[in-house]
Amino acid sequence: MQARVRDDHARIRVIQPATVIVSWLIAAAGLLGPEPDRALIGVVLAGMGIAIVGDFLNIDMENMRNVLRGLVIAVVAYMTYAIGLTVLNGFHPQDAIVGAVLLIGYVVVNRLIWPGVERDMRIPILIYGLVLPFAFSRAASTFFGDAFSTAQALFLSLGALSLWVGDVEFALHLFRRRNPLMYGPILYAGGQLLIACSIWL
């Protein structure tokens, strides 16, 4: 967070990917457990591995070209989580309620940032804005199935929520009002850590 506040690209280039690599290693270490859930571990390692690629590339996030590239990589990473959890857990009737609430959140965020979004960024923002709420909805859905323990569902949901909140904060910073102190870097790294730790529960 300090490196981002100071716009210290040299430190960001090291710290940003390093934090998620640590989470990736924590998840991978789950394969050494007595009864590893290889399917969940595979989903987490795949999604987090794609995110790490973005962490190496997306250093200067004030540059709109980097932001757009970051959106593309993040879409692939977070959809990997979402699709993987759906394959493992399926859909449940309660998902409709969660989805409706998240759709309202999506609309509210877009209304707040829309005046500041450049015309050529509007379609990518609309698409990306749906991805993280969808990923969170798939994580929250793990509470309603039998594929995951309550502790796993909690960590997956909190992790996905942390990623989403961090991105909302960044969108407000970029397109509505500059924020000199953002918690997004902590929310992002913390969210990935929570998702990685869900493997051990």
- The model's pLDDT over 116-136, given as tens digits with 9 standing for 90+, comes to 998 888 998 999 999 999 999
CA-CA distance, 50 to 73, in Å (whole number)? 7
At 91 the pLDDT is 94
Cα separations in angstroms, 112 against 141, 173, 177: 27, 11, 10
Query: 157 lies in which domain range?
Result: 2-200
At 182 the pLDDT is 84
Record the pTM: 0.92
Tokens found for residue 52: 């790490």
- pLDDT confidence band for 87 (50 / 70 / 90): very high
Quick one: DSSP state of residue 118?
-
- pLDDT confidence band for 36 (50 / 70 / 90): very high
At 116 the pLDDT is 93
Count: domains in the chain:
1
At 139 the pLDDT is 97
Question: Taking a C-beta distance cutoff of 8 angstroms, is the pair 66, 60 a contact?
Answer: yes
Q: How many residues does the chain have?
A: 201
How much is the mean pLDDT over the chain?
Answer: 92
Residue 43: is its pLDDT beyond 90?
A: yes
Backbone angles phi, psi at 147, to 5 degrees: -80, -20
Question: Taking a C-beta distance cutoff of 8 angstroms, is the pair 26, 77 a contact?
Answer: no
Residue 95: other Cβ atoms inside 10 A: 18
Report pLDDT digits (tens) over 146-193.
999 999 999 999 999 999 999 999 999 989 988 878 898 999 999 999
